[in-house]
Structure formats: structure tokens, C-alpha cells
Amino acid sequence: MKAFLLLLTVATSCSGTVFNISGEAVLKYVDDAKYLVYETNDGFYEVEDLSAPDSELSVLSATESDITFHFFSQSNHNGVQIKKSQLRNIVRLTGFNVSIETLVVIHGWKNDHTSAVNDQIKNAVLQNNNINVIVVDWNPIARQKYIRARRAVVRVGNYKETFLIRLDNELQHRLKKVSIVGHSLGAHVAGNAGARTGGLVENIIGLDPAGPFTRRNINNRLDPTDARYVQVIHTNDGRLGFGVKSGHVDYYPNGGRSQPGCGTDLLGRCAHRRAYNYYAESINNNKFMSRLCSKYSSFTSNRCNSNRASLMGGFPISRSANGNYYLRTNSKPLFARG
């Protein structure tokens, strides 16, 4: 097979180096934890050096111009944008109902409020649930280079936490009525928001939390202390996913690293997205039956068939499971096997 090599330097600064590369040359970077490789719309691969220092970090902050909130309900599928400064008028401006539950959805890197993760989850949950849905758009930060977006998750989470606390204090919309679902970097934003409330948010659902983050330092990533109950779905561990147990219960569809129907999936993007594909499907058709097991090889060898069973995902999620659970899925919708 002919190999192609084309390097185009597109950005070089004290905050790191990003370059585009094409063809088989990308293979040397894919499995190196020092780099993040991302496919661009023009068919190239963007490579970012994650070990580079970022002296510009101090100027990156989470402000009202960086983060907006988009409200949806069963009577308002089109959505209403609201900023934190307008929160006192959220009922009048959006129809927010303080007496019912709220699901907060947080997208990941390079995404915004129009991205598929938000639409799939929002549409699924409003089909049969009379709840408030708030989609958090932090695209002005999320579209930055990955190293900067990753380092900003604490600030974005803190900004989101003040929004939730004000809902509690000023409108008496209690934190026990709030669940947060976040994908990729959004899962860590959710964790930081929950941590700042003292872990009083009722549920956090982490959808393939992004890597790399440090294993021991839980102060900037999702962990079980961030909410009363934390459920995590792993679909691309070791590549775009974090690969570390992060919840009270962690689910590993198809082993948690690669997913059927994704082909070679060189960069893991398909498997990474499957986390929210599975969760959205589970909301109205939860047949994602899993088994408590020590590892995937034991599960596939049928050594865990008599172990405790649990349904992955759903809304509201089941809070009875604890530990690591494994399951298989189909290669295309409907993904759940039952």
C-alpha cells in the first residue's frame, strides 16, 4: 500500500503545536498518548501535542459570552436561549417549571447546542417525560484547541454550578430534582458542576468521559463523589475515552473500547459517539441488559451469567447497581439486545 505524507503547520505557539497530516502518516500518532488526533472536515487529520505548555490559559475564562443555556420542554421543542443573568426571569422567559425534574445536557469538545448528542437525548427524553431540559452550550471554549478546552472544564463546571445553585436558592428548584448528562469533556464539566454543589445533584450520567485526565487527581474530572449517584457508560476507553472507573456504576458495552458496526474506526470517533447513541435509545426502549462482572473476557465466556443484572441508561436511571457491568450490543439501531 502506498503511504502518503503531508505535513502542514497551521498553528505554532507557546500554547502548543497543531498540524494537519494525511494518509498513513497518521498511524504514528494515533496510539501515542502524547498526541490527540482528530479528523477534519477536509479529510485531513489534526494532530495536537498534549504535552505542550499553555501559557495562555490564564486569559481563558468562563463568562456569559462563553456559556449559554437552551431550555426545552414538551410544549417547547424549539428551545429558548437564556443567559445566567436572566435566570430570575427563567419562568417567564422560557416556561421553566420549578416543580418538575430537570435534565441538564452538556456537549463535548468541538460541539455546540445544535450537535447530535443534545438533539438525540433531548428528543428522546421529552417523548414520554414531562420535564425541563436545559442544554448547555459552551462552544466558544469547546472549539478551542483540546488542551485548552480540557483545562477549562473546571471553570465551565463552576459556572454551571452557580446556575444550579441559584435555581435552588432563588427559585427553590432543588438539586435533588436535577440530573446532568455529559458526553466526553462534557462529562467532566458535569462532574465539576456536581462537585461544586457538594455532590448534592441527584444523578450524573457520564457518557464516555474524555481522556486523558489524571487517574489520582479527581478535582478536575468526573468521579463518584460528584453526585448522589454517578452512572458511566464507556465506549472508547484508551483512545478518546478516559478508561478509568468513574462512577458508582460503570457500564462497558462490548468491553468498552470498540463498538460493533464502527469498522476500523481508526480514531475512535464512532465508538466515542456510541455512548450517547446507546443512552438516547435506552430512554424509551431500555433493553440494555448487563451483568456484574470482573472483566469482559469473563463475561464473554459466560462466567457471569448468574451475577446481578442491571439495565444501562434509561430515564430515570436505576440507582441500584454498583460496580462494573458488561453487555453486548447490536451493530446498528436498535442497539439493545435485551
Q: Which of 137, 168, 208, 237 is catalytic?
A: 208
> What is d(CA 249, CA 294) in angstroms, rounded to the nearest whole number?
13
CA 78 to chain centre: 23
- Candidate list 184, 246, 258, 282, residue with the active-site label: 184
Coil/strand/helix, residue 211:
coil
Distance CA 163, CA 183 (A): 19
Burial of residue 101 (number of CB atoms within 10 Å: 0-12, 13-18, 19+): buried
- Decide if 81 contacts 64 (C-beta within 8 A): no
The C-alpha atoms of residue 279 and residue 186 are separated, in whole angstroms, by 15
Active site residue 272: yes
What proportions of the chain, in percent to the nearest 5, are helix, strand and coil? 30, 25, 45
Catalytic choice (223, 234, 272, 290): 272
Residues with catalytic annotation?
Answer: 184, 208, 272
